[in-house]
Structure 1
Amino acid sequence: MAKDRIESKYVTVAPGVELHILEKGEGKPLVFIPGLTFSGEIFKNQLEYFSSEYRVIAIDPRGQGYSAKTVDGNDYLTHGRDVAGLIDALGLKDIILIGWSTGNLDTWSYVQQFGKDKLRGVVTIDMSPLPLSPDPKWWTEGTIEELSQVATQVLTSSEGCREFFSEYATGVMIQHKMEPDELEYLLDISGRTPYWICRQLFCDAVFSNYLEIAKDVGATMPSLMFIAEHWQDIAKPFVETQLPGYDTYVMGGHLMFYEYPEKWNHVLEDFLNKL
């Protein structure tokens, strides 16, 4: 592998299923997993920054980016198994798993099914392990009515998905006013995921429950949760009470590592230096 550039390649993680990854650097591995519909490309700043000391790998999960599009397996239990397949195929150990948004579910799913023996720590970015709850004090992705409306009325076409992520990018992900070219760039990455896969993954994410495994991770290994500013009043107390082993850091919007890479990278670097 060339040490001085980002390498793009495919890794077989299950029969007939290849995941696309971006990789740079040598050393102990940092494995980045993006959220719903996004690809490892969103972590380019982290690939460049951390590759001077680490082997940095950014995944396109099944159904996303340039990875295989399959009619089955568009759920987070399968995503966890795909992560295990990737780890085995690349011979990784002493890993820091870093999930963003629904990439947190990939991370917790992997730990639930395969344990922590190959991990040094876990970093999760801005998503609850129990995304749906009627409790108003719970950190959720929205009300039952809101999430039902998105699943059954919006994510039913390519146009609906694009509209949803356009509103989400400008209202939740990014704090600055984006120029049309930047928004188009983000929507083009998201648009590599077919709408029907997006809908399957969205519904599976909403009904996922990784609370107990997330608690176990925090209690038994170094763990960090980044939280966006817009819901810190709910999310920070939630993490501190429900996931007491996690360090927390509040900054930016949902896509804070992309919008504020220098600050975000330094926070992650401080966490890694303590391990």
Structure 2
Amino acid sequence: MRVGSAIAAILVILGLLRPAAAAEDRYFVTGDGVRLHYLEAGRGRTLVFVPGWTMPAWIWQRQIDEFSRQYRVIAFDPRGQGDSAVAPSGYEPGRRGQDIADLIARLGPEPVLLVGWSLGVLDALAYVHANGDTRIAGLVLVDNSVGEDPPPQPSRHPTKPGPRLPREAMMRNFVRGMFKRPQPQAYLDRLTEACLRTPQPAASALLSYPVPRSYWKEAVYSTDKPVLYVVRPKFAGQADNLAAHHPAAEAVVMKEPGHALFVDEPAHFNAILLDFIRRRIWR
């Protein structure tokens, strides 16, 4: 048994920490009539996790297991992803941010800690840009640009000659490339299948958000709530600038994992997040 697991087991026995709660399926209808899905586990103050491009809510499973011991955990399936409806439209920042607003309104009056990863960073910032920060207790932004300097460098890999790969093969490569730690093949297959549920037109629209980089920077600097920016070294420059210039922000650079860093190194990521919550959000 790992040290963290052993400590958690002792706390459960002593009654100081609840066992992990099983996640239950929930649904709600957005203001434009789309039925969206989320997972809910635990009770108490609320954490809302938003996944990345085409990803399902259950990619946050290790965080659901860990944080549902102490908090109410919500893992969201954005429109066109996971078990949410595939809507004919709404795959742009304004509507995606409003979907988060509709979800938060359903969860009750208390402020939530909003956690976004990859495209979920942009969706969370779109929410803040349009709705302000009155309904959030803090903001956690995981491994995407926030509009700070320096801009992300374009990929250095040249386009390979030859025919374009079928969509399924491309998505399998994309999913595999998110991790540096070996993941079970069954897990990769399940994740690829979930990602392929997002139709190609919607997936393409999500990759071409029609706003300037300044839009995201304006959003993150508009809040005085605590902000945690957790990234890989490729965003270290932005992390340094955000922490230096935003009075409520702090940053952590995780050097070893891949893009899905909370899956590659869940114990490390969870410890970073829990420390932030206890120091800055709900002391």
- 2:10 aligns with none
* Distance 1:98-1:205 versus aligned 2 partners, 3 A rule: farther
Deviating beyond 6 angstroms after TM superposition, the runs of 4 or more aligned structure 1 residues are none
Q: TM-score, normalised by structure 2?
A: 0.81
Q: How far apart in 2 are the matches of 1:273 and 1:100?
A: 21
* Distance 1:16-1:141 versus aligned 2 partners, 3 A rule: farther
Shift of 1:245: 3.8
Pick from 95, 112, 121: which aligns with 2:112?
A: 95
Pick from 40, 61, 64: which aligns with 1:23?
A: 40
Q: How far apart in 2 are the matches of 1:186 and 1:55?
A: 24
Pick from 213, 223, 227: which aligns with 2:219?
A: 213
**Residues 33-87 of structure 1, C-alpha deviations (whole Å, 9 max, x = no match):** 0011001110111111111111100000011111121121111110111111111
Q: How far apart in 2 are the matches of 1:241 and 1:182?
A: 39
Larger radius of gyration: 2
Q: How far apart in 2 are the matches of 1:46 and 1:204?
A: 28
- 1:255 aligns with 260
- 2:151 aligns with 139
8 Å contact from structure 2 (residues 145, 235) kept in 1:
no
Aligned residues: 255
Q: State the secondary structure of the residue aligned to 2:139.
A: strand
Shift of 1:183: 2.5
Greater shift in the superposed pair: 31-40 or 188-197: 188-197
**Residues 113-135 of structure 1, C-alpha deviations (whole Å, 9 max, x = no match):** 1111111100000111239xxxx
Q: How far apart in 2 are the matches of 1:40 and 1:196?
A: 21
Paired AA for residue 227 in structure 1: V
- 2:175 aligns with 169
Q: How far apart in 2 are the matches of 1:257 and 1:129?
A: 19
**Residues 190-233 of structure 1, C-alpha deviations (whole Å, 9 max, x = no match):** 1121111100111117856311111223xx1111011024x145
Structure 2 gaps of 5+ residues are 1-19
Structure 1 gaps of 5+ residues are 132-136
Q: State the secondary structure of the residue aligned to 1:210.
A: helix
8 Å contact from structure 2 (residues 50, 117) kept in 1:
yes
Paired AA for residue 138 in structure 1: P
Greater shift in the superposed pair: 101-110 or 177-186: 177-186
8 Å contact from structure 1 (residues 215, 245) kept in 2:
no
- 1:187 aligns with 192
Paired AA for residue 188 in structure 2: L
Match status 1:124 vs 2:127: no
8 Å contact from structure 2 (residues 152, 235) kept in 1:
no
Q: State the secondary structure of the residue aligned to 1:248.
A: strand
Paired AA for residue 202 in structure 2: I
Identity %: 31
Paired AA for residue 193 in structure 1: T
Q: How far apart in 1 are the matches of 2:243 and 2:217?
A: 13
Q: TM-score, normalised by structure 1?
A: 0.83
* Distance 1:71-1:207 versus aligned 2 partners, 3 A rule: farther
- 2:232 aligns with 228
Paired AA for residue 121 in structure 1: G
**Residues 154-205 of structure 1, C-alpha deviations (whole Å, 9 max, x = no match):** 7xx9x33x4444333333x211244543332321221121111100111117
Aligned CA RMSD, in angstroms, stands at 2.7
Paired AA for residue 103 in structure 1: G
- 2:89 aligns with 72
